[in-house]
């Protein structure tokens, strides 16, 4: 349950839920096929999205927000080689479960701490990430000493919407998750990670450093110029955006443990930092940073509870900002110019009984939509900063 008592497009509250069914088959145990596994995951999604209808922000307030549907999410086959150091995975896959992932950040409710806004808003149909996935091949090599390398080749548009961002039309075009598109321009994501101080019983504090990037080989609409190079806001414009080749970006992240409770391997203080740049002209968001801190077992007698504080920042790309200025120039009407959106989140995940957690959550969104005009305001003033209050309950069985 989430609500915004202040700010955004309109005040309101919503309830949403997701039933997640997983199937894991170890073919070594079942059929003697060593190193082979099959995995499937289906979602049953209900409810209304607070960001889409109330807040109007880019950094979606809930990681499970999506249009109501029953859909196949992933279905893949994985085979290990070279004594388990090399794994090849083929089938319908989601990049957000393997790439650009911070383990500390998974505590938080806002979706951008999972699949960051810089990929979700720049890639077609939001990229291969919840609630859409796409046929792919992924190779992962773990030679030892904490090093891992992985690369994924994905169909570049999970729904065929042929436009970037988390567009509801994309979810409607692939309502059941069974489109299995394979003819769209490709998306390649690659990543190298180094996990250090992971030895059992060691005294040094563990952490992980990751570097990665993506390249999409499709064509994208120019956010500002038409096919003749005129601003789209110009009355003489054709109104047809010129086409740009590709979208790409680089990212880095670090997960670091700062404190381990005495005689407790899984309790203590950890932090994360992720940063990404996407300088291609087609990018709605050209820079993104998030960071956070989480403490598990801070309070006496509540060793399995986790307290967290995080923040995220998404900067609007130069082309989109200039398009806003063009609209002011050619229309003569005052309107906001988008610049950036920020969100701060504080949360507390309480374990009630094994398998059942309750998580009060507070978010504050600065400049929803990057600073867009409120569609309900006749004077065209910016959306007001929004406070979001919520409660998430999770049952695993």
Q: Provide mean pLDDT across the span 271-285.
A: 96
Identify the burial level of 154 via C-beta atoms within 10 angstroms of its C-beta, where 0-12 means exposed, 13-18 middle and 19 or more buried: buried
pLDDT of residue 329: 94
Task: Using a pLDDT cut of 70, give the percent of the chain over it.
Answer: 100
For the record, the structure tokens of 12 come out as 């309101």
For the record, the structure tokens of 120 come out as 């979700």
Q: With 90 as the cut, is the pLDDT of residue 18 above it? A: yes
The residue extents of the domains of the chain are: 2-395
Q: Which residue has the tokens 């075009």?
A: 173
pLDDT of residue 135: 98
Write the pLDDT tens digit of every residue in 176-218: 999 999 999 999 999 999 999 988 777 789 999 999 999 999 9
Q: Which among 326, 351, 167 is positioned nearest to 237, based on CA atoms?
A: 326
**Between residues 266 and 286, the one the model is more confident about:** 286
Task: Using a pLDDT cut of 90, give the percent of the chain over it.
Answer: 89
Q: Which among 345, 350, 368, 388 is positioned nearest to 114, based on CA atoms?
A: 345
Write the pLDDT tens digit of every residue in 120-147: 999 999 999 999 999 999 999 999 999 9
385 has which bridge partners? Answer: none
* Cβ–Cβ < 8 Å for 158, 186: no
For the record, the structure tokens of 358 come out as 């309750």
For the record, the structure tokens of 34 come out as 């060593």
Q: What are phi and psi of 121, to 5 degrees?
A: -95, -20
Give the integer Cα–Cα distance in Å for 310 and 333: 37
pLDDT of residue 198: 86
pLDDT of residue 121: 96
Q: With 80 as the cut, is the pLDDT of residue 73 above it? A: yes
pLDDT of residue 223: 94
- Residues with Cβ within 8 Å of 377's Cβ and at least 6 positions away in sequence, in order, are none
Q: What topology is assigned to 2-395 in CATH? A: Porin (2.40.160)
* Cβ–Cβ < 8 Å for 100, 114: no
């Amino acid at each position: 349950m989430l609500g915004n008592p202040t700010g955004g497009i309109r005040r309101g509250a919503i309830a949403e839920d997701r039933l997640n069914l997983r199937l894991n088959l170890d073919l070594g145990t079942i059929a003697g096929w060593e190193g082979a596994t099959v995995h499937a995951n289906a979602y049953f999604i209900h409810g209304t999205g607070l960001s889409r209808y109330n807040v109007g922000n880019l950094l979606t307030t809930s990681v499970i927000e999506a249009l109501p549907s029953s859909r196949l999410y992933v279905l893949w086959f994985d085979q290990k080689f070279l004594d388990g150091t090399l794994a090849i995975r083929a089938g319908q896959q989601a990049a957000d479960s393997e790439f650009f992932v911070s383990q500390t950040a998974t505590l938080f409710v806002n979706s951008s701490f999972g699949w960051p806004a810089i990929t979700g808003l720049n890639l077609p149909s939001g990229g291969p990430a919840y609630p859409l996935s796409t046929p792919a091949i992924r190779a992962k090599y773990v030679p030892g000493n904490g090093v891992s390398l992985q690369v994924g080749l994905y169909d570049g548009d999970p729904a065929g919407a042929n436009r970037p961002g988390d567009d509801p039309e994309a979810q409607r075009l692939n309502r059941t998750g069974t489109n299995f598109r394979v003819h769209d321009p490709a998306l390649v994501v690659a990543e190298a990670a180094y996990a250090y101080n992971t030895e059992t019983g060691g005294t040094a504090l563990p952490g992980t450093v990751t570097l990665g990037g993506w390249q999409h080989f499709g064509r994208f609409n120019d956010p500002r110029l038409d096919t003749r190079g005129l601003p789209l806001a110009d009355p003489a414009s054709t109104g047809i955006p010129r086409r740009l080749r590709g979208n790409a970006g680089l990212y880095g992240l670090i997960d670091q443990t700062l404190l381990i409770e005495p005689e407790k391997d899984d309790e203590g203080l950890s932090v994360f930092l992720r940063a990404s740049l996407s300088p291609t002209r087609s990018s709605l968001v050209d820079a993104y940073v998030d960071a956070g801190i989480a403490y598990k077992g801070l309070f006496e007698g509540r060793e399995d509870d986790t307290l967290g504080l995080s923040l995220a920042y998404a900067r609007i790309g130069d082309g989109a900002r200039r398009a806003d200025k063009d609209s002011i120039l050619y229309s003569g009407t005052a309107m906001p110019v988008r610049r950036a959106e920020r969100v701060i989140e504080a949360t507390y995940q309480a374990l009630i009984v094994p398998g059942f957690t309750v998580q009060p959550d507070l978010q504050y969104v600065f400049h929803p939509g990057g600073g867009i005009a409120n569609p309900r305001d006749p004077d065209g003033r910016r959306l007001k900063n929004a406070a979001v209050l919520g409660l998430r309950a999770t049952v695993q069985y």
